Chains A and B, each alone.
Chain A
Amino acid sequence: MKNPFLDFQSVPCRKKEIPLERIVRARKEIMDRLSEGYLRLVEEEVKDLVWLVEHSHVVRTYSAAVSAIQDLQYDQDDIEEFCAELDNANAFPYMISGPAGIYLSALINNAAEEHILLRLSEYERTFHFLGYRLPEGKTLVLQGNLGDFIGAGLCGGRLMVEGTAGNWCGAGMTGGEILVTGYTGQKTGEWMRGGEIHVDGPIGGFGRARFGGKIYQRGKLVVPHESE
């Protein structure tokens, strides 16, 4: 076919760039790097597609997550978008909840913002380990019903759950504060060493091995009990 545009051969081509495209591209780049970091973490830490919740394992996974996100520039919106990516079953070849929550916690703990809000109520996937090792000076607000080990290892930060938390909420926390508007599951405050857990709803059960800290239910101190 005749080239009907030949008269314009001498016109230099400009690549059109509208600001929205630039913003979208920048966000996509960040998202790609976040996804890449997560996949690397999963490949390194979950060799047999099985991930056991052992203290040493959790610590090692968190360290690997922190090193994976080094030099990454991101903000709260990127974290929220990454949650959506994790929720999308097609986005990752395999999704293992534990490392995903630890990776998200690493992102939250290393973000520039001091106050972070994540809206998770619309997601189908249950997120575990959110708020892991939340440091002092950080406030994390989580909206939605969450999985296990929420606020585990909390070390000075303030975690607000507008919804429910699963088992082992605040497990091994050393300081800071967890506020849950709904209920918490079994073994709330297991291996707790300091800080406070406030629950407005029912508490499924308390951790037996505790070394400090306080648990309140509807404003009333329930752990340590007066008799203890």
Chain B
Amino acid sequence: MIEEKRNNDLRKVVWELYAYIQDNLYLNRPDMQIKGREFNSALLMSLLTGLCEGKELIIGEPGLGKTTSAEYVCALLYRFPLGTIWGSEVSGHPEQTEEKIIGRPDLGKLNKGEEVVVWSHFALLPVKIVDEINRLPETKQSMILDGVDRGNWEYLNAAIINEEYCLFATANYQDRGTNTIVAPLIDRFDVMVESKHPGANLAYFIGGHGSNGVRLRSEELEAEFHSVLSENIPYPVRMKRLDELCDRFGEWLEAQEGIRTLSVADRREIRSSKRSLPFDLDFNAFLRFVVSELSFCHHFGQKRSNEACDAGCHFTGYLCNAVRNCVSNRLPISARNFSQALAWLLGDEEVDLEHLKAVLPFTLAHRTQWKEEVVAQREKEQRSDPLEIYMAKQAVKEMHRRYMEQAGEVKNALAVACRIVEGESMRPVEGDHPIYWEIRRDLGEEVTEV
């Protein structure tokens, strides 16, 4: 009972933060609806990214609030003054170096023969923002792969591992100065969202009084943060001192602006309750259904980006025939993590199909490489999302329709498979969808005939 009350309080704080950012800092229109509630997808996904230690890629035209929305969310969820966040941001440009991103040798100590690493603020802080990530050349993108994936930063012989961290990266649409984000890096992002134009009427207010984030700055505290970050003290001690400063900034925000924010303990509690939320069977079955459609290949065993499947394949109607690559194991992780966070935010007791449906397009959009002919068919269609997100939304809609037509049968097939593995003598359920074929493969059947 006490736990439930505490959980509700924390949820209330997050809702207040969402409303505060939406009303004052990141003015934008709602563009999605979940269980009757309207949300702005960029803001919602950023908030969930911060809550569940995720990684978000924000795309959009220059000047439409990609970086600032991430900064506001980080400042309020993690209690860092905006100035400290600005100081830790890494900007993507061709001349970027490991020394600026991760750390550099302490030159004074080096002169004395000591090898001491001065870690960048980016590597130290739990909130990490990479601005214009696609301006980093492909060769330099690999420098941040490990850090992005595990919060593991290495320089010379030293290493730090972030106990808590979330990452936001922004990317402009392709122009002369941009590079492709390499597949291993883009796959590490949990979600991709677009920071959209808010429309002429809301845009009119942007930059006016109170909407430029000045409220989230405290120069005095920023100086203290800077001082702690620059001190040469062990990482755990430094983080402890940073936490104390964060709490002071939180108190300052509450006193100055009347905004309640989250402490480290609060965030841990939220994550713990989020993790305890169970997934319902439809969530479970639909996610398997989706993964099977995006990884299955009848001819080659699985999707591979260097192998094109035949035109006359029996599975032409499924997405395996429309995509080039195989979906990675990070997709179900992202989908589960974000769906749980969403379910927690909505106060639901179980993570269900609706949560998954809402989250899936954003987890799929950047991970799916569509075949050229499929893109050609879709790119001219009327839409309000960038092509990648639009196609992911359409794909989810299509897969959801297919799932609903045979949900009972899919769950039955999985239940029968469970009993077969447990030793019962039963025949696996046969069906046309790749999920049935995957089940039969898991049961050790050599499935070759269509």
A-side residues, CB < 8 A to B, are 1, 3-9, 11-14, 16
Q: What are the nearest 6 A-B pairs in CB distance? A: A5-B418, A11-B415, A8-B414, A8-B415, A5-B417, A3-B421
Q: Are A8 and B422 in contact (CB under 8 A)?
A: no
Produce 1/0 per residue, B279-316, CB < 8 A to A.
Answer: 00100110000000000000000000000000000000
- B399-450 contacts to A, CB under 8 A, are 408-409, 411-412, 414-419, 421-422, 426, 429, 439, 442
How distant is the Cα of A14 from the Cα of B414 in the complex, in angstroms? 11
Q: Which residues of B contact A9 (CB under 8 A)?
A: 415, 418, 422
Least CB distance from B287 to A in Å reads: 11
Q: Which residues of A contact B411 (CB under 8 A)?
A: 8, 11
With beta carbons under 8 angstroms apart, the residue of B281, B421, B422 that contacts A11 is B281
Q: Which residues of B contact A4 (CB under 8 A)?
A: 421, 442
For residue B438, which residue of chain A has the nearest CB? A4
Q: Are B429 and A6 in contact (CB under 8 A)?
A: no
How distant is the Cα of A14 from the Cα of B415 in the complex, in angstroms? 9
With beta carbons under 8 angstroms apart, the residue of B285, B409, B419 that contacts A16 is B409
Least CB distance from B62 to A in Å reads: 45
Main SS of the interface on chain A? Answer: loop
With beta carbons under 8 angstroms apart, the residue of A3, A6, A16 that contacts B412 is A16
With A11-B281, A13-B426: A3-B418 Cβ-Cβ less than 8 Å: yes
**Contacts beyond the supplied A5-B414, A8-B281, A9-B415: 5 A-B pairs with Cβ under 8 Å:** A5-B417, A5-B439, A8-B418, A11-B415, A13-B419
How distant is the Cα of A3 from the Cα of B417 in the complex, in angstroms? 9
Q: Are A13 and B284 in contact (CB under 8 A)?
A: no
Least CB distance from B435 to A in Å reads: 12
Q: Which residues of B contact A14 (CB under 8 A)?
A: 408, 412
Q: Are B409 and A13 in contact (CB under 8 A)?
A: no
Q: Which residues of A contact B281 (CB under 8 A)?
A: 7-8, 11
Q: Which residues of A contact B409 (CB under 8 A)?
A: 16
How distant is the Cα of A12 from the Cα of B418 in the complex, in angstroms? 11
How distant is the Cα of A13 from the Cα of B410 in the complex, in angstroms? 11
Main SS of the interface on chain B? Answer: helix
- List 11 A-B pairs, Cβ < 8 Å: A1-B421, A3-B418, A3-B421, A5-B439, A5-B442, A7-B281, A8-B281, A8-B415, A9-B418, A9-B422, A16-B412
How distant is the Cα of A1 from the Cα of B422 in the complex, in angstroms? 11
For residue A4, which residue of chain B has the nearest CB? B442
Q: Are B415 and A6 in contact (CB under 8 A)?
A: no
Q: Are A13 and B421 in contact (CB under 8 A)?
A: no
Least CB distance from A20 to B in Å reads: 13
For residue B280, which residue of chain A has the nearest CB? A7
Q: Are A13 and B422 in contact (CB under 8 A)?
A: no
Q: Which residues of B contact A11 (CB under 8 A)?
A: 281, 411-412, 414-415, 418
Q: Are B415 and A5 in contact (CB under 8 A)?
A: yes
Q: Are B421 and A5 in contact (CB under 8 A)?
A: yes
Q: Which residues of B contact A16 (CB under 8 A)?
A: 409, 412, 429
Least CB distance from A92 to B in Å reads: 28
For residue B430, which residue of chain A has the nearest CB? A16
For residue B283, which residue of chain A has the nearest CB? A7
How distant is the Cα of A5 from the Cα of B426 in the complex, in angstroms? 15
Q: Which residues of A contact B408 (CB under 8 A)?
A: 14
For residue B421, which residue of chain A has the nearest CB? A3
Q: Are A3 and B422 in contact (CB under 8 A)?
A: yes
How distant is the Cα of A16 from the Cα of B416 in the complex, in angstroms? 11
How distant is the Cα of A1 from the Cα of B418 in the complex, in angstroms? 12
Q: Which residues of A contact B412 (CB under 8 A)?
A: 11, 13-14, 16
Q: Are A13 and B442 in contact (CB under 8 A)?
A: no
Most chain B CB within 10 A, of A4, A5, A9, A13, is at: A5
Most chain A CB within 10 A, of B409, B416, B426, B439, is at: B416
Q: Which residues of A contact B415 (CB under 8 A)?
A: 5, 8-9, 11-13
For residue B417, which residue of chain A has the nearest CB? A5
Q: Which residues of B contact A12 (CB under 8 A)?
A: 415
Least CB distance from B432 to A in Å reads: 13
How distant is the Cα of A4 from the Cα of B426 in the complex, in angstroms? 17
For residue A14, which residue of chain B has the nearest CB? B412
How distant is the Cα of A210 from the Cα of B414 in the complex, in angstroms? 73
Least CB distance from A1 to B in Å reads: 8
How distant is the Cα of A8 from the Cα of B419 in the complex, in angstroms? 9
How distant is the Cα of A87 from the Cα of B439 in the complex, in angstroms? 40
Q: Which residues of B contact A8 (CB under 8 A)?
A: 281, 284-285, 411, 414-415, 417-418
How distant is the Cα of A162 from the Cα of B439 in the complex, in angstroms? 53
Least CB distance from B64 to A in Å reads: 41
